[in-house]
Amino acid sequence: MQRVIKAEGRRQQAEVVSYFCLLLSAFCLSSGADCTAISALACGTTAASLTSSDCTASDGSQYRLWQFSGKSGDSVTIEMHSTAFDTYLALLDPSGVPVADSDDAAAGVTDSTITFTLTTTGTWTVVANSLAASQTGNYTISLSCPSATTPRRRAVVH
Amino acid sequence: MPVNRRELLLGVAAGFSLPVKAIAQAITPLDITKNVCTLTCAQTLGPCYYAANLIRQDITEGEVGLPTLISFLVVDADTCVPIENAAIDIWHTNAKGVYSAPINQMCNPGDALARTKTFTRGIQMTDPRGWAHFNTVFPGWYSGRTTHIHATVRRNGSEMVTTQFYFDDSLTNFIYKNHVNYLSRPNRDTTNSSDNVIGGAASRVAPFLFTTKLINDRSLVALKVIAIRSSRTTCNA
């Protein structure tokens, strides 16, 4: 079966950004170059760093946008881990509507986890964010893609 | 023609200057990790409650406005342990500052259609980690009150606290003056510092403020910890 979540290669990153700017031209012009930075989120774990030059949310915290393609009905899990800061994750649907978020994955843990069943097919956006302002540093972000299922082999009768 | 969510989002992005960093500098960052166990005090129920009893996460009912995800964390005020299966019942206005439901007409004056609907009302149960989430739109304003969201928390059917939560004035002003669905009424007449329910001082609003994250000026998440006890909260703000 075809893998239902398509990891977008880095070569597609520029296309994603361009598409975003085409739709939201004034946004791209007005919000500064840093906020147009959208990275493709591949299946598996990606190492990254949150810095003061990343996008700034209204609470003064920094965030980075990651995007992946998914199909309606797919169940995905997104995890963000950092030893440098308290993480916060949000998931935006293809229209930009925030549909899920996560502060702490469990009691006593400052990492974040979202498990969500996609409600529509399209490009979904993950907001990798620090919970509070002035929190930056290295982190990892993971996307679990539905595993490909192997069709059951039929017995061959000769 | 009605404007759908996508159109309004594009409208916001395409039509207005959106100085996020200016907003970020204007808003005092709140750390949700601090003082999370401070008992949440009661505020007035108000005249616009309606027992719709709608258990649902998406409470928009097609209303347009800034898409907003509200996430509440309910904890025990004495032990700081997250509380599972607490019912959070919220209600607020739509982007025009109008409540739904057949209630006191002062809540939706002259809007007969709103009286037939139940938008921006809903109940969610907290999960094992104490969280409950609502998909909604940022509330509009009406004369005499600052922008607010009502909430009642119940456990096993018993009311623990009824209160109201607020947004930073800078963020609210920014949304009203820049978002396509609020632009027709950009100048509200009451802020947090002049609201009579809060008590007329900015310092009094702090325990009731959401931590908010406006993402790319088109998506808002709002976080709030509610600390309750095993019996009804008696402190009043």
As for the ipTM of the complex, it is 0.82
Please check whether residue A34 touches B, CB under 8 A.
Answer: no
CA distance B215 to chain A (A): 5
Query: How does residue B29 score in pLDDT terms, banded at 50, 70 and 90?
Result: very low
Question: Could you read off the pLDDT of B173-201 as tens digits, one per residue?
Answer: 999 999 999 999 999 999 999 999 998 77
- Contacts for B178 with CB less than 8 Å, ≥ 6 apart: B12, B16, B17, B18, B217
What is the predicted pLDDT for the residue at A47? Answer: 97
What is the Cβ-side half-sphere exposure of residue B209, based on CA atoms within 13 angstroms? 25
Q: Is residue A65 part of a domain?
A: yes
What is the predicted pLDDT for the residue at B167? Answer: 97
What is the average pLDDT score of chain A?
A: 76
Query: How does residue A45 score in pLDDT terms, banded at 50, 70 and 90?
Result: very high
What is the predicted pLDDT for the residue at A104? Answer: 81
Kindly report the CATH class assigned to B5-16+35-228. Answer: mainly beta
Query: How does residue A147 score in pLDDT terms, banded at 50, 70 and 90?
Result: low
What is the predicted pLDDT for the residue at B234? Answer: 75
Mean pLDDT of B113-120: 98
What is the predicted pLDDT for the residue at B1? Answer: 30
Question: Could you read off the pLDDT of A88-137 as tens digits, one per residue?
Answer: 999 999 999 999 999 986 767 799 999 999 999 999 999 999 999 999 99
What is the predicted pLDDT for the residue at A141? Answer: 98
Q: What residues does B161 pair with on adjacent strands?
A: B153
pLDDT surpasses 80 at A35: no
Residue given tokens 């520029």 in the structure block: A14
Please check whether residue A100 touches B, CB under 8 A.
Answer: yes
What is the predicted pLDDT for the residue at A118? Answer: 96
> How many other CB atoms are there within 10 angstroms of residue A49's CB atom?
12
* Cβ proximity of A21 and A30 under 8 Å: no
Side-by-side strand order, sheet with B219-228: B131-137, B67-76, B219-228, B211-215
What is the predicted pLDDT for the residue at B200? Answer: 74
Query: How does residue A150 score in pLDDT terms, banded at 50, 70 and 90?
Result: very low
More confident residue, B175 or A156: B175
CA dist., res. A61 & res. A54, Å (int): 9
* Among candidate residues B206, B215, B227, the one with its CA nearest the CA of residue B31: B206
Phi/psi of residue B97, each to 5°? Answer: 80, 25
In total, how many domains does chain A have? 1
Question: Could you read off the pLDDT of B79-108 as tens digits, one per residue?
Answer: 999 999 999 999 999 999 999 999 999 999
CA dist., res. A40 & res. A68, Å (int): 6
* Cβ proximity of B225 and B208 under 8 Å: no
Q: Which residues of B, range 95-124, sit inside 8 Å of A by Cβ?
A: none
Instruction: Put residue A94 in one of left, alpha, beta given phi > 0 → left and psi -120 to 50 → alpha.
Output: alpha
Question: Could you read off the pLDDT of B38-71 as tens digits, one per residue?
Answer: 999 999 999 999 999 999 999 999 999 999 999 9
CA dist., res. B9 & res. A101, Å (int): 20
CA distance B160 to chain A (A): 23
In chain B, the percentage of residues whose pLDDT exceeds 70 is 84
Residue ranges making up the domain that contains A108 = 10-144
- Best mutation site among A20, A23, A52, A59 for testing chain B: the one with the most B CBs within 10 Å? A59
Q: What residues does B121 pair with on adjacent strands?
A: B91
What is the predicted pLDDT for the residue at B142? Answer: 97
pLDDT surpasses 70 at B231: yes
* Among candidate residues B139, B218, B149, the one with its CA nearest the CA of residue A58: B218
Q: Domain extents for chain B?
A: 5-16+35-228
Report pTM: 0.81
What is the predicted pLDDT for the residue at B202? Answer: 73
The count of residues in chain A is 158
* Among candidate residues A112, A67, A14, the one with its CA nearest the CA of residue B131: A112
What is the predicted pLDDT for the residue at A15? Answer: 32
* Among candidate residues B103, B106, B2, the one with its CA nearest the CA of residue B51: B103
Please check whether residue A151 touches B, CB under 8 A.
Answer: no
CA dist., res. B204 & res. A29, Å (int): 39
What is the predicted pLDDT for the residue at B35? Answer: 58
Residue given tokens 């490009």 in the structure block: A123
CATH number at residue A61: 2.60.120.380
Please check whether residue A66 touches B, CB under 8 A.
Answer: no
CA dist., res. B126 & res. B234, Å (int): 22
User: Can you spell out the DSSP letters for A117-139?
Assistant: E-SSSEEEEEEEEESSTT--EEE
What is the predicted pLDDT for the residue at B169? Answer: 95
Q: Is residue A151 part of a domain?
A: no
